Amino acid sequence: MRITVTVNGQPYTREVEPRLLLVHFLRDELGLTGTHWGCDTSNCGVCTVQLDGVPVKSCTVLAVMADGREVTTVEGLERDGELDAVQKGFVECHGLQCGFCTPGMLLTARWLLDRNPDPDEGQIREAISGQLCRCTGYENIVRSIRWAADASHSQEARQ
Amino acid sequence: MSYGRMHRKEDARFIRGRGNYTDDVRLPGMLYGAILRSPHAHARIVSIDTSAAEAHPKVKAVITGQTLAGLGLAWMPTLSQDTQAVLATDKVRFQGQEVAFAVAEDPYSARDALELIDVEYDPLDAVIDARKAMDPGAPVIRDDLEGRAGNHIFDWEAGDRARTDAIFEQAEVTVAQDMLYPRVHPAPLETCGAVADFDKVTGKLTVWCPTQAPHAHRTLYAMVAGLPEHKIRVISPDIGGGFGGKVGIYPGYVCAIVGSIVTGRPVKWMEDRSENLMSTAFARDYHMRGEIAATRDGKIQAIRVKVLADHGAFNGTAQPTKFPAGFFHVFSGSYDLEAAHCEVTGVYTNKAPGGVAYACSFRVTEAVYLVERMVDVLAAELNIDPAEVRMRNLLKPEQFPYLSPTGWEYDSGDYPKALRLAMDMAGYDKLRAEQADKRARGELMGIGISFFTEAVGAGPRKHMDILGLGMADGAELRVHPTGKAVLRVSCQTQGQGHETTFAQIVGQELGIPADDVEVVHGDTDQTPFGLGTYGSRSTPVSGAATAIVARKVRDRAKIVAAAMLEASPDDLEWADGKWSVVGDPSTGKSMAEIALAAHSNLELPEGVEGHLDAVTVYNPPNLTYPFGAYICVVDVDPGTGQVKVRRFVAVDDCGVRINPMIVEGQIHGGLADGVGMALMQVMAFDEDGNHLGASFMDYLLPTAIECPAWELGETVTPSPTHPIGAKGVGESATVGSPAAVVNAVVDALRPYGVRHADMPLTPANVWRVINGDPFRTDLAIP
């Protein structure tokens, strides 16, 4: 099947098998290996990307379902050489260790802050509860997202 | 100077999605492999028909055990001097065992090919319960082993049996408890896999795979496959978590290599999650009976333990060869005892091989869980507060170095201080008062303590080797003319931040910024030999090698600086990161200045050739012994059995902390593991050997909801044997925390007369306990 998917603002047209998963389309067809694969069953969330602005687990979305839609991956978070606040937060607060869950966590964090710029700890924990991290015990991920929220506020205050 | 909180160097690539994990490796002309696995736990293979798969237009090769037998590769050695089938030839011995390997032009076609392979099995009775493995008439799993009649693998003991038994006979109080540390799996989010590329022209084999021990893999490939070792390059790129599950060589790696040799093209194999959970190294599975002999006022005199160890179908535990039960015999824990003794029996069952994995420090996890549960059982028997029982028995600072009753020499510690700090942070007395109020109202609240002593940094060469390879680590350090350095180490990070921490060690020793040090690792062509990262050994062994090689460079720099200053080296001192004439800091020469001079035509003393580069091998004189005191507070819903971890206080002493931010992150992760194992995680099987936890739908891991905000504290007791006083921390929290959670839940259930309940304390299991059902310790079905 011929599909056109806009990924990080750039349209890509490809001939794909109907059964091809979105995660494999991104990784193998487009070479965007920042999106990882981890479990097959939508439990771990390392494959999380945004589809039309909403986090989805790309191991459970067919590439053909993304036809005509917009996908944002971790590679699309940095804009004009400027890291997204959530990327900075994860560095500041040691929100990653092996880095495997990080891209998915970043995309969910961005979605959360877009909807709720001032989330409390419980709201952050709930937002990332569909994603697993085996290294951090989540504490520093929560702090990282909170750091990004604070950084965004102080940036707005400056403007 | 360079120690302290510092952002990680490796983060820049990971936050941009630019890590390079094994599955990200793509080579021109690469093919893809997939493994057909056994649906049975125990069955004879009658026939395998691969003709339909081979006829698939995109399939390039189908490899079976017969193919491998022709190459002498159907079986491979394990890390415990046993053998393991690469692809089954005669029988399958666990559900999920590797049977055939299909290689195709794309990964989906490789999976399609598996559907076209026809295997006829003759099912056999399976041995699933380890306690029945040695029954007369039990099916014999390893009929491939000559002279092996049953499923018994080994008997092993440590300590003084006679003295221990004598103390038990005279003791005022004895307590005993059976407990199971259930089978769990480390489940790193990146599964295992490999890309193998055999170049027929040069004869060079390159293997990318997420191994925690790249050098050990290279040597084993050389020994197994007969390939010359210098023609093998193992590259361990970024690893998406290891936790001990990525130490050994898995059949898929060998299949990928054979696939590349057979097809003449690079072959990638990546397992899926079910394959990962069903076939790669599990952890624990120890059936234990602990006993304590004590006085009526709670002084512990002796402890003895019997263990039945379920090793699965092949004995593939990864630990120093002399120790078939790993370091389990450190089970006397943090206490001042007169005697201790343990007996461990290992058996085969129809389950996947493994046993030593999952941040266990070679089974210190099981040992700590055993002793910390037993101390609580004793406290309940004597009706003394568990904190008080521990205080009465903890080793005292003046007893270090301390020779334990089973032969360990604990290096240093101030145990009472750590426990007091944890109790202060938790507000222990207030918590007990709150608990009393709640109990009066029928509410269930529990407070659990665990005090652990770890034994890490394997290890001294005279005691420790793996398959004859001594456990010393090399390090190489180059200082370029402009004073920038490249460190090469054998250990391999899986998220521990070696690129940062090890650069900080070099920076501290040479007086240069950590940013000026590049750390090279994970590539056997680029790094010196060493045994890898597991058992919390990176900082204790490779970190020590790093400090020592940097000091060698510093010593060389001293000679150059003396020439620069036209002084005798004996008149120089190292101060503020520079070599200067004693008492005259204005003469100080920085490492950058010295490095440039060392590469120049500066005249040097006879016999000194210039440059600053150095090489070393570090053979640790002893293990290091981190320790800590943990307190967990839980609330239990009596209606549902749901356990909520309300607070978790963790005081860790890992000696000198190089980067406290990274240390705290390591502890956080281990604490989450403890909550997971205590409350959720278990690999259960039905009586036919069907795996009941073969996906993340059934093998439950903790999320941000189950984990509390961790409360950390620290004490610092430097290791006297480590060159920078560090002790290692990667596994401390995983080792120490499960007992604290279980002790808290059991404490909450005291009104029901509960003394013990096995992990995992799922709502269903807790509900059973509350409602008087006998608790299942057999299969640990959640």
B429 shares its domain with B504: no
pLDDT at B777: 45
The closest of B247, B219, B233, B188 to B23, measured between CA atoms, is: B188
Q: Which residues of B touch A99 (CB under 8 A)?
A: 10-11, 13-15, 19, 238, 240, 495
Q: Please, which residues have CB within 8 angstroms of residue B548's CB and are 6 or more apart in sequence?
A: B475, B616, B618, B723
pLDDT at B502: 98
- The beta strand positions in B412-516, using DSSP E, are 444-453, 465-466, 469-470, 473-479, 485-489
Q: Which residues of B touch A50 (CB under 8 A)?
A: none
3-state SS of B315-332 is CCCCCCCCCCCCCHHHCC
Q: Which two tokens stand for residue B629?
A: 């005191």
Q: Which residues of A touch B703 (CB under 8 A)?
A: 128-132, 138
Contact B95, B86 (CB under 8 A): no
The closest of B571, B555, B566 to B510, measured between CA atoms, is: B555
Chain B: give the shortest CA distance to residue A107, in Å: 11
Report the distance separating Cα A135 and Cα B668, nearest Å. 8
Chain A: give the shortest CA distance to residue B703, in Å: 6
Pairing outcome for strands B469-470 and B465-466: antiparallel
Contact B22, B237 (CB under 8 A): yes
A&B contacts, CB < 8 Å: 171
CB contact under 8 A, B669 and A141: no
CB contact under 8 A, A37 and B23: yes
pLDDT at A157: 66
Count of C-beta atoms within a 10 Å radius of residue B411: 24
B290 shares its domain with B251: no
pLDDT at A116: 98
pLDDT at B545: 98
pLDDT at B1: 59
B25 shares its domain with B92: yes
CB contact under 8 A, A125 and B272: no
Q: What is the pLDDT of residues B350-379, one digit of tens each?
A: 999 998 999 999 999 999 999 999 999 999
pLDDT at B775: 56
Residue at B779 is within a domain: no
CB contact under 8 A, A100 and B21: yes
Which residue of B7, B273, B664 is in closest CB contact with A91?
B7
Count of C-beta atoms within a 10 Å radius of residue B378: 23
B478 shares its domain with B609: yes
Chain A: give the shortest CA distance to residue B186, in Å: 9
Overall residue count recorded for chain B in this entry: 782
Report the distance separating Cα B646 and Cα B533, nearest Å. 33
Residue B454 CA to its chain's centroid (Å) = 12
Report the distance separating Cα B209 and Cα B246, nearest Å. 9
pLDDT at B776: 52
Contact A22, A63 (CB under 8 A): yes
Q: What is the pLDDT of residues A49-86, one digit of tens each?
A: 999 999 999 999 999 999 999 999 999 999 999 999 99
B676 shares its domain with B739: yes
B650 shares its domain with B748: yes
Chain B: give the shortest CA distance to residue A102, in Å: 7
Which positions of chain B have pLDDT values less than 70?
1, 774-782
CB contact under 8 A, A75 and B17: yes
pLDDT at B780: 42
Number of domains in chain B: 3
Q: Which residues of A touch B701 (CB under 8 A)?
A: 132, 134
pLDDT at B126: 97
CB contact under 8 A, B669 and A74: no
Residues of chain A with CATH 1.10.150.120: 85-158
CB contact under 8 A, A96 and B23: no
Q: Which residues of B touch A36 (CB under 8 A)?
A: 21, 23, 189-190, 240
Q: Which two tokens stand for residue B38?
A: 């056994």
pLDDT at B108: 98
Distances (CA, A) of B407 to B166, B293, B341, B414, B432: 19, 20, 11, 20, 37
CATH architecture of A2-76: Roll (3.10)
Q: Which residues of B touch A135 (CB under 8 A)?
A: 241, 495, 665, 669
Domain boundary among B226, B258, B279: B279
CB contact under 8 A, B240 and A99: yes
Full-prediction pTM beyond 0.95? yes
Report the distance separating Cα B192 and Cα B383, nearest Å. 48
Domain boundary among B566, B590, B618: B618
Confidence of residue A159 (pLDDT cuts 50, 70, 90): low
Which residue of B14, B666, B709 is in closest CB contact with A99?
B14
pLDDT at B774: 58
B701 shares its domain with B752: yes
pLDDT at B782: 37
Pick from A25, A44, A82, A97 the residue to mutate for testing the B interface (most B CBs within 10 Å).
Answer: A97
Which residue of A20, A37, A74 is in closest CB contact with B16?
A74
Which residue of B24, B241, B710 is in closest CB contact with A33?
B24
B267 shares its domain with B355: no
Q: Which residues of B touch A91 (CB under 8 A)?
A: 7-8, 11-12, 15
Residue at B6 is within a domain: no
- Which chain A residue's Cα is nearest to B8? A91
Count of C-beta atoms within a 10 Å radius of residue B473: 30
Which residue of B189, B494, B710 is in closest CB contact with A46?
B189
CB contact under 8 A, A136 and B274: no
CB contact under 8 A, B668 and A91: no
B476 shares its domain with B612: yes
CB contact under 8 A, B669 and A36: no
CB contact under 8 A, B669 and A131: no
Provide the residue range defining the domain that includes B260: 11-124+191-238+246-279
CB contact under 8 A, B17 and A128: no
Q: What is the pLDDT of residues A16-30, one digit of tens each?
A: 999 999 999 999 999
Q: Which residues of B touch A32 (CB under 8 A)?
A: 17
Which residue of B16, B671, B696 is in closest CB contact with A78?
B16
Q: What residues pair up with B293 in beta bridges, in sequence order?
A: B174, B302
Contact B682, B777 (CB under 8 A): no
B570 shares its domain with B629: no
The closest of B520, B457, B447 to B486, measured between CA atoms, is: B520
B295 shares its domain with B398: yes
Contact B241, B81 (CB under 8 A): no
B411 shares its domain with B335: yes
Residue at B75 is within a domain: yes
Q: Which residues of A touch B662 (CB under 8 A)?
A: 94
CATH topology classification for A85-158: DNA polymerase; domain 1 (1.10.150)
Contact A49, A73 (CB under 8 A): yes
Chain B: give the shortest CA distance to residue A13, in Å: 20
Concatenating the DSSP letter of every residue in B90-143 gives SEE-STT-EEEEEEESSHHHHHHHHHT-EEEEEE------GGGTTSTTPPPS-T
Distances (CA, A) of B563 to B1, B371, B406, B510, B567: 26, 59, 53, 18, 6
CB contact under 8 A, B672 and A138: yes
Q: Is B462 exposed, middle or buried (0-12, 13-18, 19+ CB in 10 A)?
A: exposed
Q: Which residues of A touch B696 (CB under 8 A)?
A: 39, 41, 43-44, 132
pLDDT at B224: 83
Residues of chain A with CATH 3.10.20.30: 2-76
Sign of CA dihedral B415, B706, B695, B123: positive
Report the distance separating Cα A31 and Cα B14, nearest Å. 16
Chain B: give the shortest CA distance to residue A61, in Å: 16
Phi/psi at B687 (nearest 5 deg)?
A: -70, -15
Which residue of A19, A34, A98 is in closest CB contact with B240?
A98
**Location of structure tokens 């189908």:** B62
Which residue of B664, B668, B697 is in closest CB contact with A41?
B697
- Which chain B residue's Cα is nearest to A103? B17
